[in-house]
Amino acid sequence: MSGTRIARLVAGVLLGTALGLAELVFLAVAAPAALIPALRPAAARGLARLTALERARLSGWLGHEPARHGGGYAYLAARATLGVLGGYTCASTLFLTVLLLFGGAWDLVWGDSEQVPLELPGVKLVTSGGALGITAGLALLGVLVLMVAAVAALDRRLAAHFLGPTGEELMRRRIAELTETRSGIVRAVDDERRRIERDLHDGVQQRGVALAMLLGRARHGLDLAARADGDRTADLIAQAYTESRQLLDELRSVAWRIYPTALDELGLRAALAGVAERAGVPVTVHHGLASRPASEIETALYFVAREAITNAVKHAGAHDILVVLSEDERTVSVAISDDGKGGADPSGGGLSGLARRVLALDGTFTVDSPPGGPTRVAATLPKAPPCG
């Protein structure tokens, strides 16, 4: 424990002693005053002021930040008892320590110190009264440091008990932490999707483009005579070129499914327009949002719409799909309806994953898909992400 830390603890305990005396006087006056209705407001103000002084002392000198402003008379009664008794004990020990140290030093320097024999089992010593006084003073100084630390620790324990967070407040804090953590996971997943999309676009896809260009040049540079002779090399290169083009198309499709760059660059309207173009069936998008939602919310809306459209085309055999984006003061919603055969399973991998994503952002997710259709998938999300 550093010297500065010890000095702050000593100052905090001494201030606590002074406050403890003031609190004893206040409690003696406030007890009868609490029985008189007209004096209760004044007693309450005095209680609040003394508690505020205690909070300032705890945070300024003892390194403890109380969570609540209350505490009541029970806290002041316990605090006054500790302040007076602990302060008296520490002050008495400090006085005796100073007396022994200065008395011993005086005796050694200016006094006529007599020799004092000390006999211990197996040891015989001869010392002086001044040396004994200084030794005892130093020992008491160590005890004093421990006493001050103990009183300060008890002070903090009292504050934690009476001024600490309630069970309800601890629960609220825990819920807030979990909500923030959950929202952070969603953001991390979206960031990872963006990274994978960039890696595919800037790495694998570019190498595929280079390969296709090389094969194209090789194909066009083949000797016509070789083709006329029935050389299979030209056919193989042409086939490899076709395969490379298909590979590029598939890579673009995978990158787009992982995370569409248009969502970040152009917004939800343009990203959903791209989904509609690739759907292969008529998709009508009604965009009723006045402005772009927060990034996490916009991403969730996009993936809900895209997954619902994909399911409608791939599994339900839909011929017409309607996407409606709407909002009110606090929430934004997306609803996707199709004329397919219905029977969508909400527990399936795609829909259940969407439900978890939406719930992670404090939203609601519903699927209404009776056998024979139609199917309606809807998600409602807050405009601001949790803890955002």
Q: What are the tens digits of pLDDT across the range 289-324?
A: 888 888 888 888 888 888 888 888 888 888 899 999
Average pLDDT score over the chain: 78
Q: Considering the domain boundaries, does residue 285 fall inside one?
A: yes
Work out how many domains the chain is built from and give that number.
3
| Exposed/middle/buried for residue 273 (C-beta within 10 Å: 0-12, 13-18, 19+) | middle
Domain final residue pick, 217, 235, 258: 258
DSSP 8-class letter at 373? -
Q: Considering the domain boundaries, does residue 212 fall inside one?
A: yes
Q: What phi and psi, each to the nearest 5 degrees, are found at residue 141?
A: -65, -40
**Range ranked top by mean pLDDT from 67-81, 113-127, 157-171:** 67-81
Q: What phi and psi, each to the nearest 5 degrees, are found at residue 346?
A: -60, -20
Q: Look at residue 248 and tell me whether its pLDDT is greater than 60.
A: yes
Q: What are the E-state strand segments in the chain?
A: 115-120, 123-128, 283-287, 321-327, 331-338, 364-368, 375-382
Q: What is the pLDDT of residues 272-294, one digit of tens each?
A: 888 888 888 898 989 888 888 88
Residues 307 and 219 occupy one common structural domain? no
Residues 39 and 83 occupy one common structural domain? yes
Q: Considering the domain boundaries, does residue 309 fall inside one?
A: yes
Cis link prior to 260 (omega < 30° from 0)? no
Structure tokens at 90: 């520490």
**For residue 138, which amino acid is it?**
L
What is the pLDDT, as a whole number, of residue 235?
Answer: 65
Residues 209 and 353 occupy one common structural domain? no
pTM above 0.75, yes or no: no
Residues 152 and 252 occupy one common structural domain? no
Q: pLDDT-derived band of residue 61, with 50, 70 and 90 as boundaries? A: confident
What is the pLDDT, as a whole number, of residue 358?
Answer: 84
Residues 17 and 152 occupy one common structural domain? yes
Residues 117 and 146 occupy one common structural domain? yes
* Residue 186 vs residue 44, higher pLDDT: 44
Residues 235 and 329 occupy one common structural domain? no
Q: What is the pLDDT of residues 376-385, one digit of tens each?
A: 999 999 887 7
Average pLDDT (230-237) is 60
Q: Considering the domain boundaries, does residue 387 fall inside one?
A: no
Percentage of the chain surpassing pLDDT 90?
A: 12
* Residue 195 vs residue 107, higher pLDDT: 107
Q: Considering the domain boundaries, does residue 184 fall inside one?
A: no
Residues 7 and 156 occupy one common structural domain? yes
Q: Considering the domain boundaries, does residue 172 fall inside one?
A: no
Rg value, the chain, Cα: 40
Q: pLDDT-derived band of residue 127, with 50, 70 and 90 as boundaries? A: low
Supply the range of the domain harboring residue 27.
Answer: 3-164
Question: CATH code at 359?
Answer: 3.30.565.10
Alpha carbon separation from 260 to 153, 196, 219, 365, 383 (Å, rounded) = 57, 11, 33, 22, 21
Count of CB atoms within 10 A of residue 24's CB? 17
Domain final residue pick, 258, 276, 293: 258
Residues 251 and 275 occupy one common structural domain? no
Q: Look at residue 368 and tell me whether its pLDDT is greater than 80.
A: yes
CA separation for the pair 370, 367 (Å, rounded): 10
Q: Considering the domain boundaries, does residue 116 fall inside one?
A: yes
Residues 102 and 230 occupy one common structural domain? no
Q: Look at residue 202 and tell me whether its pLDDT is greater than 80.
A: no
Q: Look at residue 170 and tell me whether its pLDDT is greater than 90.
A: no
Residues 155 and 14 occupy one common structural domain? yes
Residues 221 and 352 occupy one common structural domain? no
